[in-house]
């Protein structure tokens, strides 16, 4: 493959071959004089030079047209953090919101197979290979997308492999096919450079990452994944289409997401049949502050779609609510259910950490449920890995807990009652 820029030089070389290999100045019967020959040769040079300029301009015009005339865009129903435009010879992937309050977009060119385009004429943050053979991801939320698309064999490195719960990927880790890369905030640059992946899928809170900058300088593309910034569960799940674009599996990704969306909406309709709405408390204390989801968060949206009464559903804002114990106790001491009490896995742990937890009705009646006890072989919490990709399972878990009569034959996938 050679670029459009290279083609200009090859064209110039062809012209130069005529400049330096002129036909003989004299022919049979001396019909041309030396003077006439020089004059005609000069005209020939002028003609070739003019042809070269016109040809070059035509090529440049064609390049601009290819880059600005998109054929279609990727359809996204919920996700707001990325977009994809399709052109004749490449795809343009743009990350619109890689982290909260981000003021910069990141654009990547993905050429079509056998494409002959000079991407230097456009400013892209990186050019991604048409076919990805080796990939590094940095969040467990990325693992399910690779498996659902059937490309998990391309994963060659991950920071904190013990956090991965998937049995399929754990077998690849145990077989030595996925290298340990240390911690996310301090990736092992030496191992990464040795792996030389086609692309690294990272995430960041402010765009400052020395390792990523080192990789970029070494010619390894880094793409920030912003699925965690989305404001709804279905929007987060739709980021499987992001991976579909990278692996040229857009149709498969669209089909998978449509099935997940359909199951979610069916479960939501089932929840509407509930005859009562149990009151729900969430979160737990960290030092002297109780953190729980605000009413506009994806977590609160799950509770709304499960048709329960979340006691802080009227609140809005970014991030979690930070309240005092007294405020929470006053409002939620008689709550029917307590969900996701931080990382605590048993009633004993809760009581030993803070005996004041025993004042809640949900504690007294043993109605506390958590996903922290559903782990993989090396202790990774399955919810943190699969929950983003499968919101339909999360919603059905909550419906089973809050309205057990509506899903009689369903066994919760993530949430279990505390030990």
The DSSP secondary structure of 143-177, one letter per residue, reads HHHHHHTT-GGGEEEES-GGG---HHHHHHHHTT-
Question: pTM of the prediction?
Answer: 0.82
**Is residue 262 classed as helix, strand or coil in its secondary structure?**
helix
* CA distances for 10 relative to 2, 56, 201, angstroms: 10, 11, 37
Q: What is the pLDDT of residue 90?
A: 92
Backbone angles phi, psi at 297, to 5 degrees: -80, 160
Q: What is the pLDDT of residue 206?
A: 80
Look at residues 356, 385, 402, 353 and name the one whose alpha carbon lies nearest to residue 147: 385
Q: What is the pLDDT of residue 319?
A: 80
**Is residue 20 classed as helix, strand or coil in its secondary structure?**
coil
CB 172 within 8 A of CB 155: yes
- Non-local (6+) Cβ contacts of 295 within 8 A are 310, 312, 313, 314, 315, 316
Q: What is the pLDDT of residue 36?
A: 47
Tens digit of each residue's pLDDT, the chain (419 residues):
334 334 433 343 333 433 333 333 333 333 333 344 444 445 444 444 444 443 444 434 334 344 556 689 999 999 999 999 999 889 999 999 999 888 889 999 999 887 776 666 578 999 999 999 999 999 999 999 999 999 999 999 999 999 999 999 999 999 999 999 998 778 999 999 999 999 999 988 887 788 898 999 999 999 999 999 999 999 999 999 999 999 999 999 999 999 999 999 999 999 999 999 999 999 999 989 999 999 999 999 999 999 999 999 999 987 899 999 999 999 999 999 999 999 999 999 999 999 999 999 999 999 999 999 999 999 999 999 999 999 999 999 999 999 999 999 999 999 999 98
Give, to the nearest 10 degrees, the angle between helix 250-271 and helix 391-402: 10
Rounded Cα–Cα distance for residues 356 and 242 (Å): 45
Q: What is the pLDDT of residue 28?
A: 37
Rounded Cα–Cα distance for residues 137 and 198 (Å): 11
Give, to the nearest 10 degrees, the angle between helix 250-271 and helix 298-305: 50
- Non-local (6+) Cβ contacts of 55 within 8 A are 11
Q: What is the pLDDT of residue 69?
A: 66
Q: What is the pLDDT of residue 11?
A: 40
Give, to the nearest 10 degrees, the angle between helix 4-19 and helix 34-68: 170
193-376-250 Cα angle (round to 5): 60
Sheet bearing 416-417, strands edge to edge: 309-310, 279-282, 337-339, 368-370, 416-417
| CB burial string 35-58: b at 16+ within 10 A, e below | eebeeeeeeeeeeeeeebeeeeee
The DSSP secondary structure of 30-43, one letter per residue, reads G-S-HHHHHHHHHH
Q: What is the pLDDT of residue 121?
A: 55
């Amino acid at each position: 493959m050679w670029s459009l820029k290279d083609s200009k030089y090859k064209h110039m070389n062809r012209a130069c071959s005529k400049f330096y290999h002129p036909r003989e100045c004299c022919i049979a019967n001396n019909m041309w004089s030396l003077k006439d020959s020089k004059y005609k040769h000069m005209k020939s040079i002028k003609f070739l030079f003019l042809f070269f300029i016109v040809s070059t301009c035509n090529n440049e015009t064609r390049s601009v047209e290819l880059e600005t005339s998109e054929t279609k865009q990727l359809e996204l129903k919920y996700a707001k953090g990325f977009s994809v435009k399709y052109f004749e010879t490449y795809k343009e992937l743009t990350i619109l919101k890689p982290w909260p309050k981000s003021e910069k977009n990141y654009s990547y060119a993905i050429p079509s197979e056998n494409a002959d385009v000079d991407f230097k004429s456009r400013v892209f943050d990186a050019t991604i290979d048409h076919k990805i053979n080796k990939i590094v991801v940095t969040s467990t939320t990325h693992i399910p997308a690779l498996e659902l698309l059937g490309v998990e064999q391309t994963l060659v490195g991950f920071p904190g492999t013990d956090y991965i719960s998937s049995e399929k990927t754990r077998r690849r880790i145990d077989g030595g096919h996925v290298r340990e890369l240390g911690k996310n905030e301090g990736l092992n640059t030496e191992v990464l450079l040795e792996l030389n992946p086609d692309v690294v899928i990272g995430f960041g809170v402010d765009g400052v990452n020395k390792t990523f900058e080192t990789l970029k300088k070494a010619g390894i593309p880094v793409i920030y994944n912003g699925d965690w910034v989305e404001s709804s569960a279905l929007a987060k799940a739709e980021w499987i289409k992001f991976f579909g674009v990278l692996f040229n599996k857009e149709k498969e990704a669209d089909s998978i997401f449509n099935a997940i969306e359909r199951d979610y909406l069916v479960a939501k309709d089932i929840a509407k049949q509930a005859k009562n709405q149990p009151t729900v408390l969430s979160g737990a204390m960290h030092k002297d502050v109780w953190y729980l989801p605000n009413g506009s968060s994806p977590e609160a949206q799950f509770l709304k779609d499960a048709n329960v009464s979340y006691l802080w559903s009227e609140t809005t804002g970014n991030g979690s609510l930070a309240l005092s114990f007294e405020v929470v106790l006053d409002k939620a001491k008689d709550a029917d259910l307590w969900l996701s009490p931080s990382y605590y896995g048993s009633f004993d742990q809760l009581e030993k950490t803070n005996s004041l937890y025993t004042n809640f009705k949900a504690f007294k009646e043993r109605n506390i449920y958590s996903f922290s006890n559903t782990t993989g072989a090396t202790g990774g919490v399955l919810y943190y890995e699969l929950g983003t990709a499968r919101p339909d399972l999360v919603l059905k878990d909550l419906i089973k807990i809050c309205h057990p009569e509506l899903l009689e034959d369903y066994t919760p996938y993530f949430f279990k009652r505390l030990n």
